[in-house]
Structures are given as C-alpha cells and as structure tokens.
Amino acid sequence: MHRLRGHHLICLHFFTGSYDKKFQENLKRVLEEISEVEVIEGVDDVCRACPYNKGFCSYSPLAEEEVRRLDEFALKILRLNVRSRIKWSELKAKIPELIEEWKSFACKKCDWRGDCGV
Ligand code: SF4
C-alpha cells in the first residue's frame, strides 16, 4: 500500500521525475509497485526521496501552501478524502474525465512541465 498526497494522485500518471537521481529511482519503484493507494496529507512516499522534503515542501518559500492547495483541489475533483483508499487502476480510469480541469487549475504555472507528459 503506497501513501500519496492529493496532487500526486494525478501528477504521477504523467511525471517522469528527472530532476534528481534518488528522487527518480524512488518514483520508479513506487510506480512499479503501486496497486492500491491510501490518501494522506503532507509529505508522502514520493516526497520522501525529494531533496526539497524538509518534513514539508521547501521547494520555494510558498511551496508548502501551494502544494496543499493543489492537494485539496485534486481530492475535490477525484471525489476522495484524506484516508481514502483506492486502487491505482481505478484512479487511472478517472484521469481522462478530469484532466482538462486539472490542467487549467494546476499545470499552466507548474515548474515541472519539462518533466511531465501531460
Ligand atoms: S517538490 Fe515538494 S511536493 Fe514535490 S515531491 Fe518534493 S517535497 Fe514533495
């Protein structure tokens, strides 16, 4: 069972994770193993290998606030809550119906667009 925060439930379907070797290896392992997910708040199984993980997201001064805003919006459009459990295949099946809404909300100003195939 992998534990993921809201925006990773959507972004991981597209993100290639090329900005850090340790981060990329962890992401690859998560994606190879993933079958069921528990939704959590804050740093998750992807953040744990991220150089910006300081127990919170330290990517920029406003990053923690911004990623929590993304997490909340992702859960809203996925109709999930913190502590929800869902199969990865069920999650994947929901993506096509919400991806345009997600792109409008989250992708235009995202710094990881070069590492993303959305
Ligand atoms: S940049 Fe922030 S939200 Fe993204 S993986 Fe790293 S710690 Fe987590």
User: Could you please report the per-residue DSSP string of 16-51?
Assistant: ---S-HHHHHHHHHHHHH-SEEEE-SSS-TTGGG-T
Does residue 17 carry a pLDDT above 90?
Answer: no
Please name the residue whose Cα sits nearest to atom 5 of ligand 1. Answer: 47
70 lines ligand 1 (CB under 6 A): no
46 lines ligand 1 (CB under 6 A): yes
Does residue 15 carry a pLDDT above 90?
Answer: no
Residue-wise pLDDT for 46-83, tens only, equals: 999 999 999 999 999 999 999 999 999 999 999 999 99
- What is the per-residue pLDDT for 114? 81
- What is the per-residue pLDDT for 7? 97
- What is the per-residue pLDDT for 16? 77
Does residue 19 carry a pLDDT above 80?
Answer: no
53 lines ligand 1 (CB under 6 A): yes
